[in-house]
Amino acid sequence: MTVMPRSVSAVLALLVLALALYPAYGDLLFGERATFFLQKLSTIMILAIFAMSLDLVVGVTGLVSLGHAAFFGLAGYALALLAPEYEAANIWVVLPASLAASALAALVVGALCVRTSGIYFIMVTLAFGQMAYSFINDSAFAGGSDGMYILFKPEVVVGNTQLLDLENKQTFFYVALGAMVAVYLLLRMLIRSPFGRVLVGIHANEHRVRALGYNSAVYKVVSFVIAGTLAGLAGFLAAAQYGFVNPSQLGWHTSGNALMMVILGGVGTIFGPALGAFAFEILHYLFESATEHWLLLMGGMMVAVVLVLPHGLAGGLLMLMQRSQGGAEAEAEADSVSAATRTGGT
Mean pLDDT of the 284-301 span: 86
Residue 339 has pLDDT above 80, yes or no: no
Contact in structure between 46 and 237 (CB atoms under 8 Å): yes
pLDDT band at 125 (very low <50, low <70, confident <90, very high): very high
Q: Which residues pair with 131 in a beta bridge?
A: none
pLDDT band at 325 (very low <50, low <70, confident <90, very high): low
Q: Identify the pLDDT of residue 346.
A: 40
Q: What DSSP designation does 153 have?
A: P
Q: Of 242, 188, 302, 194, which is closest to residue 47 (Cα–Cα)? A: 242
Whether 337 has a pLDDT exceeding 90, the answer reads no
**CATH architecture type of domain 6-345:** Orthogonal Bundle (1.10)
Q: Quick one: which of 23, 336, 19, 18 has its CA closest to 171? A: 23
Average pLDDT, the chain: 88
| Confidence (pLDDT) at 340 | 39
Q: What would the mean pLDDT of 4-30 be, rounded to a whole number?
A: 88
If one compares 197 and 3, the residue with the highest pLDDT of the two is 197
The answer, yes or no, to whether residue 120 has pLDDT greater than 80, is yes
- Region 82-95: what's the mean pLDDT? 90
Partnered with residue 32 across adjacent β-strands are: none
Asked if 43 contacts 36 with a C-beta cutoff of 8 angstroms, the reply is no
pLDDT-derived band of residue 320, with 50, 70 and 90 as boundaries? Answer: confident
* Own/partner pairs, 32-38, CB within 8 angstroms, 24+ separation: 35/169, 38/169, 38/170, 38/173
Count the neighbouring beta carbons within 10 Å of the beta carbon of residue 246. 20
pLDDT at 76 over 50: yes
Q: pLDDT tens, 162-203?
A: 888 899 999 999 999 999 999 999 999 999 999 999 999 999
* Cα separation, 243 vs 161, whole angstroms: 23
- What does the domain layout of the chain look like in residue ranges? 6-345
Percentage with pLDDT > 90 across the chain: 60
Structure-model confidence comparison of residues 85 and 263, the more confident one? 263
Q: Are strands 156-158 and 161-164 parallel, antiparallel or unpaired?
A: antiparallel
Cα(256)–Cα(72) distance, rounded to whole angstroms?
Answer: 13
What percentage of the chain carries pLDDT values higher than 70?
Answer: 92
Phi first, then psi, for residue 171 (nearest 5°) are: -60, -45
Q: Is 117 exposed, middle or buried (0-12, 13-18, 19+ CB in 10 A)?
A: middle
Angle in degrees, 0-180, between the axes of helices 119-137 and 69-82, rounded to the nearest 10: 20
Q: Decide if 246 contacts 144 (C-beta within 8 A).
A: no
DSSP-derived 3-state class of residue 148: strand
Q: How many helices (H) and strands (E) does the chain have?
A: 13, 4
Which pLDDT tens digit goes with each residue over 39-64? 999 999 999 999 999 999 999 999 99
Q: Mean pLDDT throughout 126-136?
A: 93
Query: First vs last Cα of the chain: how many Å apart?
Result: 48
| 2 pLDDT tier (thresholds 50, 70, 90) | low
Please state the rounded mean pLDDT for residues 7-34. Answer: 89
Can you state the percent helix, strand and coil of the chain, rounding each to 5?
A: 80, 5, 15
Q: So what's the pLDDT on residue 1?
A: 55
CB 136 within 8 A of CB 5: no
Residue range 268-281, pLDDT digits in tens: 889 999 999 999 99
